[in-house]
Amino acid sequence: MKILIVHAHENPNSFSSSLVKVATEYFESAGHSVSISDLYQKGFNPVAGKHDFKNPSDATYYKYAIAQFTANNTNSFADDVKTEMEDLIKADVLIFNFPLWWFDMPGILKGWVDRILAYGFAYGGDYGLYKDGRFKGKRAFLSITTGSPASFYTSEGAHGRSLENILRNINEGILGLVGFEVLSPFIGYSVSRISDDERKDIIKKYQDYLKQNFAEHS
């Protein structure tokens, strides 16, 4: 299998970044290939615009989605967009690895979604939605770290709902919409406020999660 990890944490020494290493070691030890798109490290531009196209429209009325559709049909996406798209096409498994910020992914990762899951490329045109999406037959999941403890993410907790519920827009409205089979997220809770032993336990749980979901491919 080919694995693509899209990683969105600015600190290479963070616990979030350590989860990238755990996944990479697991998949490579099982004989799979892993590509990492480290968005902060590569200085990925999260802002969508005419710079995404080699031949931007000079029409009086410019619409970004239509420009994406045209660029897909004419193979004229900018090189940085095209590179990410090519890596995504090759992948059998997509992992979004990020710290939860304001109940969502960091802006740099949302910008990746805006620019790379383009109209005409990831959906629309020749591709349907959900079970008919372009990436049907492929799997995806979220690998997340939080500042709040797990007890906050319950109906009685401070946030009043589960993290799985909070992540529904990403799981269903992004990954599921373009056809991925979406696995349950892996969540490391309150990683900056716990002990080293507790962090080691989260790493062990992540290794177990990977074995449970991908053992048949080992």
Active site members: 147, 153, 159
Paired tokens of 13: 């020494």
H or E segment at 2?
Answer: strand 2-7
Contact 175, 140 (CB under 8 A): yes
Strand partners, 127: 124
CB atoms within 10 A of CB 133: 19
CB atoms within 10 A of CB 167: 21
Task: Return the closest-CA partner of residue 75 out of 136, 37, 120.
Answer: 120
3-state secondary structure of 84: helix
Q: Is 84 buried (19+), middle (13-18) or exposed (0-12) by CB count in 10 A? A: buried
Contact 184, 141 (CB under 8 A): yes
